[in-house]
Structure 1
Amino acid sequence: MNQLLLKAQEIADLLNEEDKKPAEPESGVEAWLTSNDVGNSSLFILKNLRPEALNKHPDEVRYAHPHDVGDFVRCLKLLAAEPSLVDDFWTMRNCSDV
């Protein structure tokens, strides 16, 4: 029952959010963080490649990998918004056994 209530609250919070715009290519991390292109797996990438850029404490971001196409696209949009992350992306291999 608790999980159901938590999901219901999560949905209500999403419905009450202000409309956000997608991040444009090369718009930077700050623009991406305020876009609707942020997800758990893309935040995990940012935590590992540029933890100082997070707008929350890095410990709040947990391990996550893309679970579906939407997750994967949000990761690609992060890399498009901040192309400098691509140079260090290879280091992500140390974050997972997968």
Structure 2
Amino acid sequence: MDSGADVTLVPERARTVLGLSLIQDKHYELAGFDGSTSLVLPVRLELLFGGRAFRGQFLLIDQAWGIIGRNVLNAIPLLLNGPHLTWDEHSSP
């Protein structure tokens, strides 16, 4: 989870394992906090997180893990417990 990331990023390996198809003729430029940039390709998939399904376009990255960004996080009330390094879905009283 990265509340500073605008979008959710999926590891390239997930595309291979799940057999996801690239969305042709599209690419996006990602900018890192250090000013670095990279071009990435999108895939269409259904992502399950927090008991919800998020369908649409997600960007691929060449890393071993993905990043859940605000396009998903903004839909789920989360409670982050920094000292215990845990998180839970927050339920309103």
* Fold shared per TM-score above 0.5: no
Identify which of structures 1 and 2 has the higher relative contact order when contacts are C-alpha pairs closer than 8 Å and 6+ apart. Answer: 2
TM norm structure 2:
0.24
Which protein is richer in helix relative to its size? Answer: 1
Which protein is richer in strand relative to its size? Answer: 2
